[in-house]
Amino acid sequence: MRGGKIPKYGLEARVLELEGQYNHTQIAEILTQELADRIPPIKDSISQSTVSRHLKEVRAMRAETAREMWKDAVEPTIKGSCNRINQIEDDSFARYQAAQSDKERILWAREVRETVKLKFSYAGLQEGDEEKVKKVQKAIEQELGKELMGKLEDVVGTTKGAAAVH
């Protein structure tokens, strides 16, 4: 965290203590008064913007720490989750291939499509990645066949952006 009056006067813990009880302007007034009440008195003031900047930096540091902790907690489970998603996709595709009726095939094609959407959302492929979405859509169409994709489109809506996350 960068310097400033709050760290300079050792007020970091006090700001956090006051944060849930008062707004930033009130915190600044309290801190300014506490500086004046010190022995020897400190004739300086803490502004609302100083409090706001400090708390913004604290929140940013907390967010980064939380991201790192979350990453450490989630990372060991990613491979297993990916394997389960792939298994669901494989099972759904096998059921799609074994389906006896168009209605059943459409149902399983939808399941395959939703599983692929989930997989791509986890991989970071989001709506707006139009070139990637077109490649994925083409691969899905080749896999499922254009005729069935047309029926699927009629039943569940457009396949445009089928791999995109809504």
pLDDT tens figures, 41-98: 999 999 999 999 999 999 999 888 888 888 888 777 777 877 888 898 889 889 988 9
What is the rounded CA–CA span in Å between residue 24 and residue 16? 11
What is the rounded CA–CA span in Å between residue 95 and residue 93? 5
Q: What is the pLDDT of residue 19?
A: 93
Q: What is the pLDDT of residue 165?
A: 37
Q: Which of 79, 86, 93 is nearest to 120 (CA)?
A: 86
Q: Which of 92, 105, 97 is nearest to 156 (CA)?
A: 105
Maximum CA extent, the chain: 88
Q: Is the pLDDT of residue 164 over 70?
A: no
Which pLDDT band, with edges at 50, 70 and 90, does 126 fall under?
low
27 in Cβ contact with 35 (< 8 Å): no
Q: Is the pLDDT of residue 10 over 80?
A: yes
Q: Is the pLDDT of residue 130 over 80?
A: no
Q: What is the pLDDT of residue 139?
A: 67
- Top pLDDT among 36 and 145 is at 36
Give one DSSP letter per residue of 148-166, joined into a string: HHHHHHHHH---TTTTS--
Q: What is the pLDDT of residue 162?
A: 42
Least confident of 12-16, 33-37, 90-94: 90-94
Average pLDDT over residues 105-132: 76
